[in-house]
Structure 1
């Protein structure tokens, strides 16, 4: 009996020990399964759609398929109240701000081009004469990010992964690839049109094109898009845009009316002038094709180290400038871009894996509706005609200071003064700035005028001065900053443009999708510099060196 009791006791102890060991193992497994404070997608894809207003997402919604914009909105996070918080709102500053998480006041890209007051010369945001072209005999490849003064999220990814994470940037425009790629990109590629029709790069990145790029260029895929531009759908269904034949749109060469189909000789010619493709939706098609070739050839997203593919769709900007916000051409361009996004997402699912990549989509600036059209609708709008105002301004300078040569340059709605000449006249810079600003503000074309002294001495927190201050860089910006009346632009009377601090230029989409991203939407205000910190927080890496934005907490799981 005693032996039986001991045997039962031994069995009980063994069972108890087994249960304890099992519980301990479960706790260990549970600890190992605890969520990390970051995610590691195999690939991050950054998409910037050039000149995309937020309302293009909603205006054309009923025409979009399920696999492009709608997939990103319905399965991702939609920031509906996303804005640029600086001006000028243009391509170079836009791409730099998206990727640095900073504003031009910090990253230094104050325009596509600007007056270099130190060297008394013009500066291009991506231009670099110390580099040589790769893939072309022209100067189109003499580019680098050397004028961008801080790091990008792509730089931070490279640093975070000990340079193992691969970064490749692709765009029709050089600045749409160079600035997102950052200072440490493995490669940035852009399109050389003219008679070449090739994808090229700069000696900043490499001494010669990789074999796969040469092979792609030799395939002459681009020639498949030298064809008439017809509407994707029946043009009668494009009720979300204005009449096809109107006076607010530009013309391709040889065209008499700005109407579909667009089939000029240069679009149809297979041997020359590939430049024209940029101004059709086919420019976005060749961008997708080349980006996917880069994805596959470079084996991006194939291991556990996060890579980054930066894509900028530039043709929407060319089309907007030519035809305007309300055109059938813009509508067709976005319906076709929707198909490009669907194609891209399907290939990402296939090559990287659904749920294994993170993607964001935004724009580099918005655009104004054609002021001539707005005027005809009895909406306050119009055009700044330089010849109506600047002669009067020069006369003021002569009368007040005895010379109009105190102004060295006028560009990007800024005036650059000759400081040495002012000092030689024994005048104070601040007083001259204030005097000129007061004069300009008396002209009926200007809504607001600020001086560099105001930008440096005050701290603005909202409104137009806040936006201007974020775009003001003391070493690169001018002495006087001018803001035209809302609805007014300095531009031809056909097509749309951008660059102002007005809401039609600042309100752009911001969509997040994929690994680590919540599903949902919000009308809470977000700003362009928030994008880079959000992606950085998602990946658990350091923020770009000049970042002033903050992570958008509601976006992250």
Structure 2
């Protein structure tokens, strides 16, 4: 009886084990089938890349209750929100920001190390998008002498063009030339930017075209821009703007002709004293003009009307102008974002009607964040302050003259980088590494600097975390300086009014990243993502090659 019971137990165990194996195998096969049936690629009719210039992540949360359901909230609630998204390099400024979003790389790779920088080969400062080889299209000024030639790698927009045998259209739009030229990449069909002053129209470069297309000419000759020459008052009751500071304070800049930085701002009355149409850039109306033009571009270029994916790159620049002028805690910045939310709603609804709901994919991010006005922080007893550049130059000059007998060792100081004259160093029979270390130690003794690194350190070490990791990703061996300084948190080189950016500190690196639309899984993550992850994520979604300098990784949680 015992043997019979024992034998039966063995059979039962064997049965359950076999059954478990079979079940496990069946589940594995089902899982494989699911994976096999997953789409090789997603084919939206249109990709819309949106960069909001100088957008801190907390602008999403801070002004949330003022947003409507179909702008930022639609992107967050129906899309994917990367809550812990950061720039992984410095300087955090517009040119490098746009280049990094679209190349999937950092300045160490793509070469755009600032908006402007000292060029060691020509011994002159250069602008990131300037190119005297080309002429302006649409105006008689030099404002269109631009191209992406200083960006040394491809963009996601280039890769789309290459993948589709140049059939997929790429159009890039921004008030700022660099906000259009760099996202458009080397192969864009068109890039357009806004000419202010007495012009008030959109222009381009003959890098892209010989003449403006009819739809642009029609836009420029219409009265669309003129309607924004009006007083700027808050779009909602100003007393409801409890998420920002007092309207009248000493931390904000003034338009020329104003006595207080308060609403309403009489734009028609201030027009001539503030360069006419240039004034619109420093108001939320600049974003509305950009939206108007983007909608006309979708229609005029017939974007998203066939099965070959097109790409529209939009940069909203006025948020940066307003932030610089009035600061991140101003009523003006709050009103600008509430109005931008309505412009986004208008854009998304047009995409629904023209391209088709569910037929397009959007990502929204920023090119950098911004610091709260240090003068305001100081009044709140938060450590902060301003760099006295003249004092530092004088003190450093005296040190160099005492140590080496000549101040000619320094060729340039810009973007928190010191460039040395290596010919003079060689003539004085000095060791470049030792000179770098000596000057770095001297600068580190100055009260405003937290950290100082040398080019030798950047070239010979590999940093993986913290500030040195961020500095190294911004260091380009051919273009960057010999000594790189990091101001203390809260310390900036700027005026006493308005906000700025550019540092490796977290208030400049933490920016929003939202994905929405076709091929995107709704959700969110608090895991760290980085700006160079955007381009490979879009490339993976489309099933195309990554930009050729990519260092970022696809954000897998985002994709279906």
Query: Could you say whether these structures have the same fold, taking a TM-score greater than 0.5 normalized by the shorter chain as the test?
Result: yes
Which of the numbers 59, 72, 79 marks the counterpart of 2:75? Answer: 72
Q: Distance in 1 between matches of 2:274 and 2:246?
A: 33
- Residue 260 of structure 2 is matched in structure 1 by 257
CA contact (8 A) 2:374 2:490 kept: yes
Q: Does 1:298 align with 2:308?
A: no
Following superposition, the deviation at residue 264 of structure 1 comes to 4.1
Cα distance per residue 1:388-426 (max 9 Å; x no partner):
222111000000000011000000000000000000000
- Residue 274 of structure 1 is matched in structure 2 by 277
Following superposition, the deviation at residue 35 of structure 1 comes to 3.9
Q: Does 1:347 align with 2:350?
A: yes
Q: Does 1:210 align with 2:213?
A: yes
Q: Which runs of 4+ in 1 moved over 6 A?
A: 269-272
Secondary structure (helix, strand or coil) at the match of 2:117 reads strand
- Residue 484 of structure 2 is matched in structure 1 by 481
- Residue 130 of structure 1 is matched in structure 2 by 133
Cα distance per residue 1:291-343 (max 9 Å; x no partner):
11000011100000000000000000000000001000000000000000000
Q: Does 1:517 align with 2:526?
A: no
Q: Does 1:181 align with 2:193?
A: no
- Residue 114 of structure 2 is matched in structure 1 by 111
- Residue 376 of structure 1 is matched in structure 2 by 379
Q: Distance in 1 between matches of 2:161 and 2:500?
A: 35
How many residues are treated as equivalent by the alignment?
A: 527
Secondary structure (helix, strand or coil) at the match of 2:456 reads helix
Following superposition, the deviation at residue 268 of structure 1 comes to 5.5
Q: Distance in 1 between matches of 2:39 and 2:451?
A: 49
Q: Distance in 2 between matches of 1:35 and 1:421?
A: 62
Q: Distance in 2 between matches of 1:439 and 1:102?
A: 33
Cα distance per residue 1:410-452 (max 9 Å; x no partner):
0000000000000000001111000000100011111000000
Which of the numbers 217, 225, 230 marks the counterpart of 2:228? Answer: 225
Q: Does 1:544 align with 2:547?
A: yes
Following superposition, the deviation at residue 36 of structure 1 comes to 2.3
Q: How does 1:83-482 map to 2 (within 5 A)?
A: 83-265=86-268, 273-482=276-485
157-166 or 219-228: bigger deviation: 219-228
Secondary structure (helix, strand or coil) at the match of 1:169 reads strand
CA contact (8 A) 1:226 1:269 kept: no
Instruction: Please give the root-mean-square deviation of Cα atoms over the aligned residues, in Å.
Output: 1.4
Following superposition, the deviation at residue 220 of structure 1 comes to 2.9
Cα distance per residue 1:526-548 (max 9 Å; x no partner):
00000000000000000000000
- Report the CA distance shift for 1:296/1:423 in structure 2 as closer, same or farther (over 3 A): same
Q: Distance in 2 between matches of 1:173 and 1:339?
A: 21
Q: Distance in 1 between matches of 2:521 and 2:274?
A: 48
Q: Distance in 1 between matches of 2:339 and 2:321?
A: 15
CA contact (8 A) 1:228 1:267 kept: no
Secondary structure (helix, strand or coil) at the match of 1:139 reads coil
Following superposition, the deviation at residue 253 of structure 1 comes to 1.1
- Residue 36 of structure 1 is matched in structure 2 by 39
Q: Distance in 2 between matches of 1:526 and 1:193?
A: 36
CA contact (8 A) 1:141 1:200 kept: yes
Secondary structure (helix, strand or coil) at the match of 1:178 reads helix
CA contact (8 A) 1:91 1:364 kept: yes
- Residue 22 of structure 2 is matched in structure 1 by none
- Report the CA distance shift for 1:225/1:549 in structure 2 as closer, same or farther (over 3 A): same
Structure 1, unaligned runs of 5 or more = 1-29
Cα distance per residue 1:167-213 (max 9 Å; x no partner):
00000000000000000000000000010001000010001111111
- Report the CA distance shift for 1:272/1:250 in structure 2 as closer, same or farther (over 3 A): closer
CA contact (8 A) 2:230 2:268 kept: no
Q: Distance in 2 between matches of 1:465 and 1:270?
A: 44
Q: Distance in 2 between matches of 1:192 and 1:120?
A: 29
Which of the numbers 499, 514, 530 marks the counterpart of 2:533? Answer: 530
Structure 2, unaligned runs of 5 or more = 1-32
Q: Distance in 2 between matches of 1:389 and 1:539?
A: 50
Cα distance per residue 1:229-250 (max 9 Å; x no partner):
1001000000000000000000
Q: Distance in 1 between matches of 2:283 and 2:342?
A: 15
Following superposition, the deviation at residue 255 of structure 1 comes to 0.3
Q: Distance in 2 between matches of 1:38 and 1:263?
A: 51
Secondary structure (helix, strand or coil) at the match of 2:179 reads helix
- Residue 51 of structure 2 is matched in structure 1 by 48
Following superposition, the deviation at residue 273 of structure 1 comes to 1.4
TM-score, normalisation: structure 1? 0.93
- Residue 19 of structure 1 is matched in structure 2 by none
Q: Distance in 2 between matches of 1:385 and 1:185?
A: 42
Q: Distance in 2 between matches of 1:495 and 1:163?
A: 43
CA contact (8 A) 1:146 1:183 kept: yes
Q: Distance in 2 between matches of 1:117 and 1:226?
A: 43
